[in-house]
Amino acid sequence: MIVVVGIGADGMSGLPQASRAELTRATVIYGSQRQLDLLDDTVTAARRAWPTPMLPALRTILDGADGDVHVVASGDPLLHGVGSSLIRLYGAEQVVVLPHVSSVTLACSRVGWAVQDTEIVSLVTSEPHTAVRRGGQAVVLSRDATTPAALARVLTDTGRGDSEITVLEQLGGPAERRRSATAREWSARPPGDVDDLNVIAVRYLPDERRNAVLPDDAFSHDGQITKQSMRAVTLAALAPRPGELLWDVGAGSGSIAIEWCRSGPGCRAIAFERDERRRKRIEDNATRFGVHVTVTFDAPDSFEFEPPPHAIFVGGGLTQPGLMEACWERLPTDGRLVANAVTAESEAALAQWYSRLGGELQRFQHYRGEPLGGFTGWRPAMPVTQWSVTKR
């Protein structure tokens, strides 16, 4: 059995009796050196600091163990912590977790926020731009002392410089400290004495949250973009689910990949685009919306990614020899494929795939009202043919 004990910056004095009893009876305790240093002399177990990387050690933690193995972790071990990793590896029946008060709850208590109204974002292993939001509030878990400045810079660079940030260090311990500023102010004059153990409470300003499909001008683009109305239809056909991966092939501005990532927690995308300037534009758009989009070069040459995607969208290159075949080959069973066509040649290609594999073939025509003299007339957009199919 693995027993995971959460501990705060206040050390042993802040532990409930059950947690103290577990540590007292332990024979071996794993944890980071900082967490192990919080234990006092009542704990006589052998102390083993995690190596880097930590994951291989987690896989062997029970090897040769004589009895239970104990682990100490910061705060709530099930909140972006080692407790969740151990349960994934060994199963819930082999892991007991004794949580401490989480850093998120402590942070919310310090700034007066309701926990249920606050998003939790971890930058422990993610890049700072993934914590950018268009409004609302979040507690951001930091990687180290450099995270607050890095986040402040990316917020400022993406038009969120008025966002209010509060950096909370050593929460719950005798050296606890709180400092507040706007992202712009913190970015311009970042303190040089931020503690590695910190979290950031962020109120994102201006508040421009929008749950619906975004307007075209929300994206930087050169005209190569799936227009808003077709984007809504395409997202409906792709049917994203939380935590799924999309391949956006011929991504253009990356609008489909970004909308996919915005649609649910944990959604991420890989955007394939041959044009270097467009690849840079996709990266900028992804940063602006704080989403997980990996941008790579032309398809299908760069299809060697694992794991395979849950869905593939083909927005360009339909007539490229071998492209659709490669997409279909990499799509797993029950994966969804959606392709949009605007030329007669690409329409013909989709019709052939529909004849072979079935699915659903649709054609959309959208009109926009525009001035016509003193009246209003209808201006047609180019019709779009869409093929969608689930692999069986």
* Mean local confidence (pLDDT), 117-122: 97
- 41, 58, 146, 196 from 5: Cα distances, Å: 17, 15, 27, 21
Q: CA nearest 198: which of 179, 224, 211, 219?
A: 179
Res 298 pLDDT > 90: no
- End-to-end alpha carbon distance in the chain: 41
Res 259 pLDDT > 90: yes
Distance CA 345, CA 209 (A): 39
Q: CA nearest 366: which of 354, 379, 375?
A: 379
Torsion-angle region of 91 (φ positive above 0: left; ψ -120 to 50: alpha; else: beta): left
Q: What is the pLDDT of residues 173-205, one digit of tens each?
A: 999 999 999 999 999 999 999 999 999 999 999
Res 370 pLDDT > 90: yes
Distance CA 250, CA 226 (A): 11
- CB neighbours of residue 36 within 10 Å: 18
Counting residues of the chain whose pLDDT is more than 90, the rounded percentage is 94
- What pLDDT was estimated at residue 302? 84
Q: What is the pLDDT of residues 278-291, one digit of tens each?
A: 999 999 999 999 99
Q: What is the pLDDT of residues 68-118, one digit of tens each?
A: 999 999 999 999 999 999 999 999 999 999 999 999 999 999 999 999 999
- 61, 128, 169, 233 from 190: Cα distances, Å: 40, 16, 15, 45
Dmax (CA) for the chain in angstroms is 88
Res 122 pLDDT > 90: yes
- Angle of helix 276-289 relative to helix 255-262, nearest 10 degrees? 20
DSSP SS3 for 82: helix
Average pLDDT, the chain: 96
* Mean local confidence (pLDDT), 32-61: 94
Distance CA 102, CA 104 (A): 5
* Mean local confidence (pLDDT), 253-278: 96
Distance CA 1, CA 205 (A): 47
Distance CA 18, CA 16 (A): 6
For residues 29 and 45, the answer to whether their CB atoms sit within 8 Å is yes
For residues 103 and 199, the answer to whether their CB atoms sit within 8 Å is yes
Res 131 pLDDT > 90: yes
Distance CA 329, CA 334 (A): 13
Residue 228, C-beta contacts closer than 8 angstroms, at least 6 positions apart: 213, 214, 215, 216
Q: What is the pLDDT confidence band of residue 304, given thresholds at 50, 70 and 90?
A: confident
Distance CA 13, CA 314 (A): 58
- CB neighbours of residue 368 within 10 Å: 11
Counting residues of the chain whose pLDDT is more than 70, the rounded percentage is 100
Reading the block at residue 307, the tokens are 């794991």
Reading the block at residue 92, the tokens are 């819930």
ω before 300 within 30° of 0 (cis)? yes
For residues 280 and 222, the answer to whether their CB atoms sit within 8 Å is no
